[in-house]
Structure 1
């Protein structure tokens, strides 16, 4: 096994140059490596033009657009680049597609949303239900396993179930759902399945073919890239759905769902992000195709992050008054990403965030848009949790410094 090259990895991120700041706010957005920044800058300098022109800058923009869709398809293991819709962010894409998908349903049809999801995978579907007269059913997660259990989903499915919005990994508890099993249940009942993989993508490589879902969405700024939302949809569905578009827009896919001028410079950054992940695979001793190298990178990330997670959780659970919100058993770490949340019996979550910020440690407090999980767990919405999110560029020293700061505050 190649030793994890943490110094080489950290040297790729300009934000870490000569900085003592511990960036443990990763569930809200990750740092960006040098090649991504360079690609964005180069595109702004050389391809700052609209698509479809006969001059060089426009042709460069065309090439950037297509290359980014190819890279995004490879990232999620899509069958075709035409299955990829790239927009400003995941939530905007969900609201946009809700207006489209909802038109295919009838009043009284049922949709299922979960108590585990970020609001970006709840509010768009509540709005869809209100607009088209649909019945909303709520799917809770199990507070012992911290996951959505198949039997709980099965109990909600009926012949009128048309849509399931499912969370892959929680942005509060870090728990990973068995989305393939849950998708199979919903598909057997005749429902479309939408997977929110935003929190999974920084830590595990998505594979839409293995899941069997109809849609999967993630955000590149959560996996070391620019501020974009990336949506995969099954080709036959994208061709059949009625898009909202301007009259002179192409009716081919993905064009029919891509409104307005694309963010060309950010698309260049997206491709560079995929290339960075492949490079990280090489740096960890992996070879093969770009996707195989990405898979290798994620394998190495997972092993490295698990060790940091184990140390952080063991340190937190040893402190008086701390209650962990999520899976704490190291034997079950395969069922979680390294997003660790906790509360304290007497110290405000916001006090933790303020105290750690004063020591150059970036974390979050509050519900962090995980409104339903906070309600399901009986947490005060204005308090929520203290949330620490580990990424593959964080160091053991940062974890120790964070634990020391938390222990000092608790004491």
Structure 2
């Protein structure tokens, strides 16, 4: 089953992009990017080079120490360019989940019983459970914000009733990793700031699919994961250095109390920092020719806009094909969304999404099934803990991949008698 091909706007050369990903030579069509993308050759080479170069703990005395220092500072600068942030406010960590847990404990130390923390049911559990646990420890109240299960929208009118003069923090999704919804963050964060609250934005899913400007989004603290945008497995937090100065996480006595180092426990994995920088540079190099002389931040804005347009075109093509398949229910319906589609097969009974994932896997199409840690969202949609089949697009997805997914699903439905 195929859909008509419409050329990508802006001359995005997906064939040239795909040629940089050795993993694609294995032949699978990857729709599993929301759980972690494939890695371009340049990123793997940067990781290897960092591990093979003389390296020691950071410092200035030896060449090895200077290499480590330059690697860390280079990573901060690269991620700051990606997010529109201050490099001296970029915290590096093992994962976004780890960073959220660490900072939630530091923030909770500033709360008192009766204070309030707001979380949403649209989020990945990594932007829910750390705040719930931190609030419980200090006697703060957790306020829950729902979303419209019919449309997938999280709107200001859902948030506003949960805000008050005791609201201390509002945790929001940049985009849903389950159904792709991209809430109107500036509107939501403005409400939170009007209530005197800080905003924490989980940008793990958003950062992979669109240009990001943390200040424009109204995010006081913004977390992301390079392995979701072609890099290695690590996490990063961006915040104003002055805000980080106000927080005092648990740390070892001899370790630095400087910002952002006070939030980074132990020696950083320099090879992963080098890989994250290479991933940002790879994305920047996707910019249209006229942007290449304007600096990395400008290149990244242009590149991510081109990636977004490419992925949106394929998403629309995939959605059109899915609408032609009998028995498929799409739960990704928000007006503004990432190229992340969740689908179920109600007529085929329990376990149909898992069966579809196995059928596709046998045909070299990687589209997994589950709730993907967005447990509250799955339940709020009426899908329980089972979730559905998720198909996520990435910068390297092409029309042939979309055709393979549609053909695989058509075969699954035919075999199931749908």
* TM-score past 0.5 threshold: yes
The alignment of Structure 1 onto Structure 2 pairs a total of residues equal to 403
**What SS class does the counterpart of residue 237 from structure 2 fall into?**
strand
Find the residue that maps to 1:397 and give its secondary structure: helix
Q: Work out the CA distance in 2 between the residues paired with 1:211 and 1:169.
A: 12
Counterpart in the other structure of 2:389 = 386
What's the TM-score once normalised by structure 1's chain length? 0.95
Alignment of 1:2-401 (within 5 A): 2-17=10-25, 19-52=26-59, 54-78=61-85, 80-282=86-288, 287-327=293-333, 332=335, 335-347=336-348, 348-381=352-385, 383-401=386-404
Q: Deviations over 1:344-401 (max 9, x none)?
A: 01331100110000001111101110100011111131x2110000011111011011
Q: Which runs of 5+ in 2 are unaligned?
A: 1-8
Structure 1 residues 167 and 2 mapped into 2: Cα distance closer, same or farther (>3 Å)?
closer
User: 2-side partners of 1:405 and 1:286: how far apart?
Assistant: 40
Question: Shift of residue 252 of structure 1?
Answer: 1.3
Could you tell me how far apart the structure 2 residues matched to 1:310 and 1:215 are? 32
Please give the per-residue CA displacement for 1:267-293, whole angstroms capped at 9, x wherever unaligned: 011111111111111469755211111
**Counterpart for residue 403 of structure 1:** 406
Asked whether the 8 Å contact 1:2–1:284 carries over to 2, the reply is no
> Which secondary structure state, in structure 2, belongs to the residue aligned with residue 226 of structure 1?
coil
Partners of 1:90 and 1:156 lie apart in 2 by 25
Q: For residues 254 and 301 of structure 1, do their structure 2 counterparts lie closer, same or farther at Cα, with a shift above 3 Å needed?
A: same
Separation in structure 2 between the aligned mates of residue 289 and residue 147 of structure 1, nearest angstrom: 36
For residues 43 and 396 of structure 1, the distance between their equivalents in structure 2, rounded to whole angstroms, comes to 36
User: Is contact 1:227-1:266 (8 Å) kept?
Assistant: yes
Supply the RMSD in Å over aligned alpha carbons: 1.4
Q: Is the 8 A contact 2:117 2:170 kept in 1?
A: yes
Task: Please give the alpha-carbon distance, in whole angstroms, between the structure 1 residues aligned to 2:21 and 2:119.
Answer: 37
Moved over 6 A (4+): none
Aligned to 2:5: none
Taking the aligned partners of 2:264 and 2:312, their CA distance within structure 1 comes to 38
Which whole-Å deviations, capped at 9, do the CAs of 1:4-56 have from their partners, x for residues lacking one? 21111101111123x32101100000011111111110000004322226222
SS at 2:219 equivalent: coil
Give the gaps of 5 or more residues in structure 1.
none
Matched-pair contact (CA < 8 Å) for 1:72–1:84? yes
SS in 2 for 1:387: strand
Further displaced range: 282-291 or 295-304: 282-291
- For 1:75 and 1:96, the matched residues in 2 are separated by 23
The whole-number CA distance in structure 1 between the counterparts of 2:332 and 2:284 is: 31
The 2-side partners of 1:285 and 1:255 are apart by 33
Tell me if the contact between 2:10 and 2:306 (Cα under 8 Å) persists in the aligned partners.
no
**Does the aligned pair in 2 maintain the 1:326–1:340 contact within 8 Å?**
yes
